[in-house]
């Protein structure tokens, strides 16, 4: 598995990296801990290394009334900006936007959709990252489905663990998501599986 992931030929052949297509990456819960410590730093490093399509916009969404400058300040200590990267770093924040809104109000998701229409084109692909407590996964995904799907491009929803707290709540979440999205539109992430120690479990055993 590790060999496969590391083989350059594997990545060279990936057909779905749409380098010139416009993309909008939305961080829901942008004001939170996961967003500042993991998501924005990772987005910055991908942007810095030109591993996201050139024409990508980022939109943060949360109930807190933040400006992009305030969001930037919250993330600052985790971004690890090195010498010589400042110009690219400014470019990164230059393509960032922020929308204030609640998780259970449809009107706010309509406004998020309007912002996405403003910053991107109709054919932009949309990626939604739920950096949110599991208590709002249901209502947020319902509102995304109702108001925020890409009109011409594709849409994807990414959820960070936990996917429920027992088999019943996990099944409930899975059924809810399956009622809204096709399986290929969903990504479930457990960043711990990317940790070196976890990846070395096979060797350790």
- Can residue 29 be called a binding residue for ligand NDP (CB under 6 A)? yes
- Can residue 98 be called a binding residue for ligand NDP (CB under 6 A)? no
- Closer residue to ligand NDP, CB minimum distance, 21 or 136: 136
Which of 119, 134, 163, 186 binds ligand NDP (CB under 6 A)? It is 134
- Can residue 133 be called a binding residue for ligand NDP (CB under 6 A)? yes
Which of 131, 144, 148, 150 binds ligand NDP (CB under 6 A)? It is 131
Count the site residues for ligand NDP by CB under 6 A.
22
Report long-range pairs for 76-83 (Cβ below 8 Å, ≥24 apart).
78/36, 78/37, 78/38, 78/40, 78/41, 79/40, 79/41, 79/44, 80/41, 80/45, 81/44
CB 37 within 8 A of CB 138: no
- Closer residue to ligand NDP, CB minimum distance, 91 or 170: 170
- Can residue 59 be called a binding residue for ligand NDP (CB under 6 A)? no
Least gap, CB of 164 to ligand NDP (angstroms): 11
Identify which range of 4-12, 80-88, 131-139, 175-183 contacts ligand NDP by CB under 6 A: 131-139
- Can residue 143 be called a binding residue for ligand NDP (CB under 6 A)? no
- Closer residue to ligand NDP, CB minimum distance, 116 or 159: 159
**Residues at the contact surface with ligand NDP, assessed by CB under 6 A:** 29, 31-35, 37-38, 62-64, 103, 131-136, 160-162, 191
């Amino acid at each position: 598995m590790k060999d496969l992931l590391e083989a350059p030929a594997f990545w060279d052949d990936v057909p779905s990296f749409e380098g010139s297509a416009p993309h909008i990456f939305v961080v829901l819960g942008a004001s939170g801990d996961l967003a500042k410590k993991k998501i924005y730093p990772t987005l910055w490093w991908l942007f810095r290394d030109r591993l996201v399509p050139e024409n990508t916009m980022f939109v943060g969404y949360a109930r807190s009334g933040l400006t992009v400058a305030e969001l930037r300040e919250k993330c600052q200590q985790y971004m690890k900006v090195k010498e010589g990267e400042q110009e690219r770093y400014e470019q990164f924040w230059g393509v960032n936007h922020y929308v204030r809104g609640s998780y259970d109000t449809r009107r706010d998701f309509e406004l998020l959709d309007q912002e996405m229409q403003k910053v991107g084109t109709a054919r932009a692909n949309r990626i939604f990252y739920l950096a949110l407590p599991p208590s709002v996964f249901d209502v947020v995904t319902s509102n995304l489905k109702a108001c925020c799907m890409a009109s011409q491009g594709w849409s994807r929803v990414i959820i960070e663990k936990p996917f429920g707290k027992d088999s019943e709540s996990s099944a409930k979440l899975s059924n809810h998501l399956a009622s809204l999205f096709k399986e290929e539109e969903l990504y479930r992430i457990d960043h711990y599986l990317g940790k070196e120690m976890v990846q070395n479990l096979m060797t350790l055993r």
